[in-house]
Amino acid sequence: MIVRKTPAELDKMRRSGMLVYQLLEKLKEMAVEGCSTMELEVAAEKMIADAGAKPAFKGYYVQAAGETYKFALCTSVNNEVIHGMPNSKRTLKKGDILSIDTGVKLDGYYGDSAVTLPVGEVSEAAKKLLKVTQESLELAIDRVRSGNRLFDVCGTVEQHVKSHGFSIVREFVGHGIGTQLHEEPQVPNYVDRRNENPRLKPGMVLAVEPMVSAGRPETVVLKDRWTAVTKDGSNSAHFEHCIAVTENGPWVLTRP
27-63 pLDDT tens trace:
999 999 999 999 999 999 999 999 999 999 999 987 7
Inter-residue contact 217 to 165 (CB < 8 Å): no
Q: How far apart are CA 11 and CA 5, in angstroms?
A: 10
Task: For the chain, give the percent of residues with pLDDT over 70.
Answer: 100
68-100 pLDDT tens trace:
999 999 999 999 999 999 999 999 999 999 999
Whether this prediction's pTM lies above 0.95 is answered by: yes
Give the largest CA-CA distance in the chain: 48
Q: Is residue 76 part of a domain?
A: yes
Task: For the chain, give the percent of residues with pLDDT over 90.
Answer: 95
- The pLDDT value recorded for residue 102 is 98
Instruction: Give helix then strand counts, H and E, for the chain.
Output: 4, 17
Domain with 180, as residue range(s), is 7-252
Mean local confidence (pLDDT), 106-114: 98
159-182 pLDDT tens trace:
999 999 999 999 999 999 999 999
Burial class (CB in 10 A: 0-12, 13-18, 19+), 23: buried
Inter-residue contact 76 to 96 (CB < 8 Å): no
How wide is the angle at C-alpha 184 spanned by C-alphas 146 and 133, nearest 5°?
70
Nearest 10 degrees: Cα torsion 223, 226, 227, 230: 90
- Strands 174-176 and 228-230 turn out to be unpaired
Region of 39 (left: φ > 0; alpha: ψ -120 to 50; beta: rest) is: alpha
The values of phi and psi at residue 91, to 5°, are -100, 135
Q: How far apart are CA 226 and CA 113, in angstroms?
A: 19
Q: Is residue 2 part of a domain?
A: no
Q: Is residue 44 part of a domain?
A: yes
CATH number of the domain encompassing residue 205: 3.90.230.10
Say yes or no to pLDDT of 253 above 80: yes
How wide is the angle at C-alpha 195 spanned by C-alphas 171 and 201, nearest 5°?
110
Total of domains in the chain:
1
Q: Is residue 84 part of a domain?
A: yes
